[in-house]
Copies of this chain bind each other. A is one copy, B any other.
Amino acid sequence: MNISVRAAVAGDGHILHAMVRELALNHGHAADFTAVPADYERFLADPQAINGAIIAFWRGEAAGCAIWQRSYSTYRGRETLYLEDLSVLPGFRRRGLGRELMRAVARLALFRDCAAVSWLMMSWNEEARRLYSAAGAEIEEGNCMCRLSGNALERLGS
């Protein structure tokens, strides 16, 4: 068994932080990445947290992670699981870690009685598209993510 997965626990913040940072750089979002490991420790230590993570290991070495959060579908009237990040470190790709993380997320969703797992993918990411299609996901094209933050948020909310 080369691959193992487990839920992230208190103390894993630096592992998750390194992996999400890698993802942010890879997506060209370095400037937006301001989280520090202690931010992640806060939700890992909070039994009421709306989010959590799963870490995948290759021969015992941390190699990837999935960070999820509770979500809710108003169409279904039930909770869902939202997958915020799925990251496999570059040196560990094409070994099945992404697939194992997706399986672990699906198991968690079923255990939590969620109606669905949902996540966003950039339309240019063909490698992700192959992984998610193979997992049986429906992929909806033509979404735009909208974000209001900083001065624009202050202005609108004041």
- Residues of A near any B CB (own CB < 8 A): 16, 20, 24, 29, 32-36, 39-40, 43, 48, 50-51, 67, 69-79, 82, 84-85, 102-103, 106-110, 115-124, 129, 132, 135-149, 151-158
Contact of A110 among B73, B109, B147, B154 (CB under 8 A): B154
Partner of A148, one of B36, B67, B136, B151: B136
A74 touches B35 (CB 8 A): yes
Report whether A70 and B50 are in contact in the complex, using a CB–CB cutoff of 8 Å. Answer: yes
| A-B pairs, 9 with minimum CB distance | A39-B77, A136-B152, A35-B77, A106-B157, A116-B149, A106-B156, A143-B143, A110-B157, A107-B157
